[in-house]
């Protein structure tokens, strides 16, 4: 087995393993940015989001149409996103302001319903809404003096832990992982679904 490549930018991503390495890099950068007390440090300026919820709403905004009706992602990743196209999206999302949309917040889209970039947008909104609900329930449990763990919820509450879990899951090898090739909007949704609960 060959050694893992050191991936410094989305342009270097060529495979699933490269994408996993890129996710690990993003997680490390995010952890450093979120723990840096100086909001003007070079690392902190590359991360707009301090929460999974805001990261997902930033992705919703990125996946949406621009004011002129054209899609940014259609130009950058037409058809299927590919590993590099997906890495490009995450790189861009790091600095994309959240785009909360009350209509999409109630989309209730399941990962197996995702076929297009618009479906992935609705699924990202579903996840963002679900994450916010999960965090409210967790805080309520803690305020009642109950243990905050519960089955089926989000395994992680920080973007860097979530990105790290996504990296670990997507970098693993099993028969299920063969379904990730080629990268489709649905396989991205399946990755997000797995990262939500993977520890």
Q: Does residue 109 contact residue 119 with C-beta atoms inside 8 Å?
A: yes
Average pLDDT on 109-119 reads: 88
Per-residue pLDDT at 39: 52
Q: Kindly state the DSSP code that residue 12 receives in the 8-state scheme.
A: G
Decide if pLDDT at 104 tops 50.
Answer: yes
CA 27/CA 21 separation, integer angstroms: 10
Residue 26 has pLDDT above 50, yes or no: yes
The alpha-helical segments, DSSP class H, found in 109-158 are 117-143
Distant-in-sequence contacts of 153-159, Cβ < 8 A, 24+ apart? 153/197, 154/52, 154/130, 154/196, 154/197, 155/196, 155/197, 155/198, 155/199, 156/52, 157/52, 158/31, 158/34, 158/51, 158/52, 159/27, 159/30, 159/34, 159/49, 159/50, 159/51, 159/52, 159/55
Which residues, 6+ apart, have CB-to-CB distance to 53 below 8 Å?
A: 98, 128, 131, 132, 135
Terminal alpha carbon distance of the chain: 24
Q: Are 118 and 59 in contact (CB under 8 A)?
A: no
pLDDT of residue 38: 57
Categorize the per-residue pLDDT at 19 as very low, low, confident or very high, splitting at 50, 70 and 90: very high
Is residue 73's pLDDT more than 60? no
In the structure, what pLDDT confidence band is assigned to residue 87 with cuts at 50, 70 and 90?
Answer: very high
Predicted pLDDT at 189: 93
């Amino acid at each position: 087995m060959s050694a893992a490549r050191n991936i410094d930018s989305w342009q270097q991503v060529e495979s699933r393993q490269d994408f996993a390495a890129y996710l690990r890099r993003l997680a490390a950068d995010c952890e450093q940015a979120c723990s840096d007390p100086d909001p003007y440090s070079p690392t902190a300026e590359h991360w707009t989001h301090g929460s999974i919820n805001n990261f997902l709403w930033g992705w919703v905004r990125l996946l949406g149409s621009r004011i002129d009706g054209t899609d940014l992602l259609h130009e950058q990743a037409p058809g299927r996103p590919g590993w590099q196209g997906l890495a490009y999206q995450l790189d861009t999302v790091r600095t994309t302001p959240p785009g909360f949309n009350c209509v999409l917040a109630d989309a209730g889209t399941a990962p197996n319903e995702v076929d297009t970039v618009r479906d992935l947008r609705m699924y990202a909104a579903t996840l963002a809404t679900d994450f916010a609900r999960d965090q409210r329930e967790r805080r309520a449990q803690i305020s009642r003096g109950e243990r905050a763990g519960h089955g089926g919820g989000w395994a992680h509450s920080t973007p860097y832990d979530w990105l790290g879990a996504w990296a670990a899951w997507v970098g693993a090898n099993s028969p299920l992982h063969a379904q990730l090739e080629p990268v489709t909007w649905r396989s991205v949704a399946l990755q997000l679904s797995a990262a939500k609960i993977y520890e």
